[in-house]
Amino acid sequence: MTLLRALKHDLTHRGPSAWALSVLLLGFYFGLYLPSETRALGLRVGALSRVSGRDLSGESVFALHLPGLSWWAVALTVGLAGAALHAAFERTDEARPFGEGLAHRLRSTGLPMALLTLLTLPAGLVAARWLDPPTRGTRHLLPTATEHAPWVVVALSVVVTAALTLDGLRRAWRQRAPGPLWTSTASLGALGLFAVYGTHVFDPAAPRPPGERSLAHLGQLFYFALDSRWGLYGALYTLAVLSGGVFMLGRYRASRYQVIRTLAVMVVQCSFGFAIPIVLKLFAWPEFYFSYFWPLKLDALMPETLLREPLVLGLWSVLGALVLVPLAGVFFGKRWYCAWVCGCGGLANTAGEPFRHLTSKSERAWRFERATIYTVLIVAVLVTAAVLAASLIGPGTRPTAVYYGGDGAPGRYLFDPIRSDALVGFAAKARYYYGIVVASVLSGAIGVGLYPLGGTRQWCRNFCPMAAMLGLAQRLGRFRIEVKEGMCISCGMCSTHCEMGIDVRSYAQEGQSFTRAACVGCGMCATVCPRGVLAVTAAPPTQLVQIRRRRP
């Protein structure tokens, strides 16, 4: 029991296990969304360690060359990145001058992460090598003499990290505070390895030696439903929302709002987010998610998607994005989508619940949020516009150009004043990079991977273009957090529980009702408020007798 409690505290207070879980999730998402890029990165890291010109594709790449200069450079980069992450998530403190803070971050996070990277890089190498299709078939069952070294290091790193983790837990329990990160950074390599390996195991499309099967091949029905990594991922996602939802229902059973909202999130995920697309597929329709709209799903308004889909689905996409979403945002606030329907919010509010208090409430974080989220929205609009424009005036459809061709041979333009081929190229490129940076890295890897470190809703708060749009709509409507004047006891439960980083207390203790674009209307501030000061509502304001008697 004691150990479990210590683990829970550690995991939810940025202790060693939280860092380890974050690395695990990041590894998982990179492997899931960007398998070939991740693989290439692993090989690139391998290449950095190469001395004496040995070739990457040969067996000798497994030989360990620790003193290699670039090896240290990678470790140093990881260490600095760790220190930067630490700085991004820590609370500002007037008592600590900047320089001292820098030294502290480098010592407590940067150094251990760099050291651990030195130990665990071989693990990454092995993983990349193992996943690399061209060489898998010829791989020996047991490592040859030159392959022993990395395995020894992997084993060593696992032992060391396990020892450090246990020590961190012990300290966490004794001091009722997370152990120093020194003892942490647990299992960076071991868990990362597991993550990459895990995506391989779950991926039916991955090349395999004869006799080895992926888990996704279990049973024919299973195979039909989960015929891709995305099918299996969807099942895992739904399972996470359901089990987290059960946890939520138990924890907040006294709050009717939270019970109904959590049930809604669970039902929407099971149906619109999982079962309905599979059923549609059974009837040979496209795998369509009714609960995702442009600009969260950029593809929904892309011309080739709309042309491919049955009319009714196309109408749903267009009307949903341009009419339903903003209008409902004005009338009900952002919450109808972000806290009741959306799968990203659904995972955050169920499985992510234990991490909700970690979101930064600082001014700095708020400034960052406003800068990034509207940037992503603008970029999303521009990318969509570019693709639409390209398809409208692209080759073959340009009314302004004279096209010369014939007999099925590739033609050429005789007259082309607006250089649409450049536009087409730009649109394709913009869409590709938007897909990698926003859809894969920001929404997937960062969005979920940083739950244990930066709190849930990192994606929703800082990057989601849909949330940005709904936030603007919300400010037009009358959705608000109503504050009962003079009743706040400044306990801080509301601010601590705000997953969007709103310092609710700063409004509540001034008795000031407010609307913030960021608020997703989860209602948790009002639920946990011990004096019933807050009400999340979009109802017409009541004619209250405003008594300011006790305030001069």
Partner 1 sequence: MPRHVVFVGNGVAAVTAARTLRRLDADCALTLVSPESPYFFSRTALMYALMGQLERRDMEPYPRDSWAKLGISRRLATVTGVDPARRTVTLDGQEPLAYDTLVIASGSRPRALALDGQSAVSRGVVNFVSMADLTACEALVPSTREAAVVGGGLIGVELVESLLHHGVRVTWLLKDPWFFPAALGREEGERVTAMLRGHGVTLVTDDTAASLEADAAGRVSALITRAGRRVACQMVGVCVGVEPAVGWLRDTPCGGILGRGVRVDATLKTALDDVWAVGDCAELTHAEGLKVEPNWYTARAQGEHLAHNLAGRPTPWEPGVYYNAAKFFETEFTTVGSLPRGAETVLRMHPRKVLSQRIAAVDGRVVGFNLLGSRWQHSTLIGWINTRRPLDWVLAHLAEAQFDGDLAREDLASLVETRPTMEPLG
Check binding of 181 to partner 1 (CB under 8 A). Answer: no
Check binding of 513 to partner 1 (CB under 8 A). Answer: no
Q: Which is nearer to partner 1, 338 or 526 (CB)?
A: 526
Q: Taking the complex as a whole, how short is the minimal distance between the CB of residue 265 and partner 1, in angstroms?
A: 14
Q: Which is nearer to partner 1, 49 or 495 (CB)?
A: 495
Q: Residues 51, 367, 489, 541: which binds partner 1 (CB under 8 A)?
A: 489
Q: Which residues contact 158 (CB under 8 A, 6 or more apart)?
A: 187, 189, 190
Check binding of 551 to partner 1 (CB under 8 A). Answer: yes
Q: Residues 399, 410, 532, 540: which binds partner 1 (CB under 8 A)?
A: 532
Check binding of 367 to partner 1 (CB under 8 A). Answer: no
Check binding of 4 to partner 1 (CB under 8 A). Answer: no
Which residue's structure tokens are 């960062």? 446
Q: CA nearest 82: which of 130, 42, 26?
A: 26
Given a contact cutoff of 8 angstroms between Cβ atoms, the answer to whether 434 and 428 are in contact is no
Q: Residues 93, 138, 409, 412: which binds partner 1 (CB under 8 A)?
A: 93
Given a contact cutoff of 8 angstroms between Cβ atoms, the answer to whether 374 and 382 are in contact is no
Check binding of 530 to partner 1 (CB under 8 A). Answer: yes
Q: Which is nearer to partner 1, 115 or 264 (CB)?
A: 264
Length of the chain: 552
Neighbours of 190 (CB within 10 A): 22
- Choose the binding region for partner 1 from 64-72, 151-159, 164-172, 485-493 (rule: CB under 8 A): 485-493
Check binding of 542 to partner 1 (CB under 8 A). Answer: yes
Q: Which is nearer to partner 1, 5 or 419 (CB)?
A: 5
Q: Which helix (H) or strand (E) holds 475?
A: helix 465-476
Q: Residues 1, 4, 141, 221: which binds partner 1 (CB under 8 A)?
A: 1
Reply yes or no: is the peptide bond before residue 295 cis, omega within 30 of 0.
Answer: yes
Q: Taking the complex as a whole, how short is the minimal distance between the CB of residue 260 and partner 1, in angstroms?
A: 6
Q: Which is nearer to partner 1, 412 or 549 (CB)?
A: 549
CA–CA separation, 170 vs 178, rounded Å? 10
Q: Which is nearer to partner 1, 91 or 412 (CB)?
A: 91
Interface pattern 307-336 for partner 1 (x via CB under 8 A): ------------------------------
Q: Residues 55, 100, 212, 363: which binds partner 1 (CB under 8 A)?
A: 363
CA distances from 474 to 91, 330, 348, 505 (A): 29, 5, 21, 21
Q: Which is nearer to partner 1, 117 or 262 (CB)?
A: 262
Q: Which residues contact 293 (CB under 8 A, 6 or more apart)?
A: 300, 317, 320, 321, 324, 325, 466
CA–CA separation, 462 vs 374, rounded Å? 9
Q: Which is nearer to partner 1, 157 or 496 (CB)?
A: 496
Check binding of 515 to partner 1 (CB under 8 A). Answer: no
Task: Give just the sign of the alpha carbon dihedral 445, 264, 292, 459.
Answer: negative
In three-state form (DSSP H/G/I as H, E/B as E, the rest C), the secondary structure along 138-151 is CCCCCCCHHHHHHH
Given a contact cutoff of 8 angstroms between Cβ atoms, the answer to whether 508 and 488 are in contact is yes
Q: DSSP readout, 346-391?
A: HHHTTTTGGGGGGS--SHHHHHHHHHHHHHHHHHHHHHHHHHHHHH
CA–CA separation, 426 vs 418, rounded Å? 13
Angular region, 181: left φ>0, alpha ψ -120 to 50, beta rest: alpha
Q: Which is nearer to partner 1, 121 or 483 (CB)?
A: 483
- Choose the binding region for partner 1 from 128-136, 137-145, 430-438, 529-537 (rule: CB under 8 A): 529-537
Check binding of 538 to partner 1 (CB under 8 A). Answer: yes
40, HSE (Cβ side, Cα atoms, 13 Å): 4
Site residue total, partner 1 (CB under 8 A): 53
Q: Which is nearer to partner 1, 172 or 302 (CB)?
A: 172
Interface pattern 251-280 for partner 1 (x via CB under 8 A): ---xxxx--x--------------------
Q: Which is nearer to partner 1, 17 or 440 (CB)?
A: 17
CA–CA separation, 317 vs 417, rounded Å? 33
Give the residues lining the site for partner 1 (CB under 8 A).
1-2, 9, 13, 91-95, 173, 176, 254-257, 260, 357, 362-363, 482, 484-487, 489-493, 495-496, 505, 509, 523, 526, 530-532, 534-539, 542, 544-547, 549-552
